[in-house]
Structure 1
Amino acid sequence: MLPFPKFLLALFIGLPAIGSESPSGIEDFPAEVRKKIEHDADSIATEWIPIMQNIASSDREKIPLTQLIRKLMVHGFAKVGGLSSRDATDPPDRWDIRRRENAAKYDRKFIKTLQLHSPDFLTHRAFAKTIQSLLAVWPGKLLLLDANGDGKIALSEYALSSPLVQDQEVDEEGFSKNQRSGFAYYDENKNGLIEGLEMVRGTLYVQSKMRQYMTAVLISRADLDQNSILSRAELKRLLPEAKDLPDSVPFSEAIFWIRLIDPDDIGPLRDALLQRE
């Protein structure tokens, strides 16, 4: 990881909390769940530090939020259609469009939440609070199902999140396959209850999304000939083991290609870009 200027590091991490700080949504969660989300959010926020070094100007001590937004927007952030290079040869089906719409919706949610916690300048705490809010979504929905208030979700309570439709097939206990599979996703220890840290299952997903954004901010470093297009050769240098690489990727569509990269590879790719000037 590249060294981070001491004055900028101090400002990025050490700014005091604002008295009227916006809540992240975890304040009323059980202590175990709240602490887990705080820990995970702080860890992911720390990954933004070297990215902020890339964004920061040498003569600027504070990093404006608008700078990050501009860095992301030029690569297709929050965009759904108009991908000429990709769609001309491989027209998207309705599922492709749905995935793009969902990705764009998440992009907008990330920025909207970051704006809430960082209206002017980016700080480590602003990222941490933003990520807390993103991680809080599903635990919050689960806890709303806790009818008896014991901090645990039984299958009968979870089933309310997926109501049966007319003539839907159910088992002998009256639950559908979807209800059982959804419940099993959270009930990791198979004790018939969703409890404690089982409610926090979104960390890897949110971490992957953040790393995609970080990679998008840095992707211009891969453009060796500086023509605003990533050629197949340039892509191959980034991911030498990858197969089925596109002939080229315009900068304006880079984030769509980044989203196709395996989550296990996105972190190493970001780190490789950080080592480039």
Structure 2
Amino acid sequence: MILKRLIRNWQTRKFHLSLNMAGLQNKMKFLNQEEAQQIDEDLFNEFAFSVDQLMELAGLSCAHAVVRAFPKESLTREKGAILIACGPGNNGGDGLVCARHLKLFGYKPTIYYPKRPKKTLFENLVTQCEKMDIPFLSYLPSDPQLIHDSYNLIVDAIFGFSFKGEMRGDFPDIMKKLITSKLPVASIDIPSGWDVETGPVEERPSFKSEVLISLTAPKLCAKKFYGRQHFLGGRFIPPDLAKKYELVLPPFPGCECIVEIPVEKMSPEDEGVESKSTRE
């Protein structure tokens, strides 16, 4: 009897929480590219955060989101094998930190990092991963089926909110291989290939991500995300900064570093754009 009452109370609280989150969705602040860049500048300058400090907090929250969305016991391949695809910027650094924490959480991450910046911050992150026996791929298999058969999912840490213009170098081919592998994708901050404000772009390969992990605050493109789960991570915004940018964000429960955001249903217009943008 007591157990039934506890279950009913938990279900009632969960129902009311979902209603509150749904209402918050309509008021939530979504950042454009300029606002996202300015918030970062304020964090570094006015609030005296360091890049590696924020990257550690962001990457840790990404790892928590991956664990929440893809529990290890639900994964069938190679003891929780995950491919972390990292780009040359700070988004790639978040991916390296995420990989390190996933290893500590009992997963088996492998990192693909094709274009490494020659900066001490990123070199140190690579060393930390290597010292934890996290393997790095020197190249992707030519057959996307091999990628599919080797991993359970892809963590997309290729391009972040500062990306603009066209993909250069090998990245269009890299994206096409990863998309063709048909593995589920968890994207950090924005799905790679998307415009940070408008969402999927028809003219270039873009991920149709199953999970999105927004950092600091969702970007405008997150309004076009119709995947399975959307998380907010990066629990480091000072109240004064939130007030300055009028950030309306969901409250983080307890001491959690992530919070789940309800995902809206896709409109018929967006279905056509998304299907074109995820082509090979």
* TM-score bracket, shorter-length normalisation: under 0.3
Which fold has the larger relative contact order, with Cα–Cα distance below 8 Å and residues 6 or more apart in sequence? 1
Q: Quick check: which one's strand share is greater?
A: 2
TM superposition score normalised by structure 2: 0.25
Q: Which of the pair has more CA radius of gyration?
A: 1
Q: Quick check: which one's helix share is greater?
A: 1
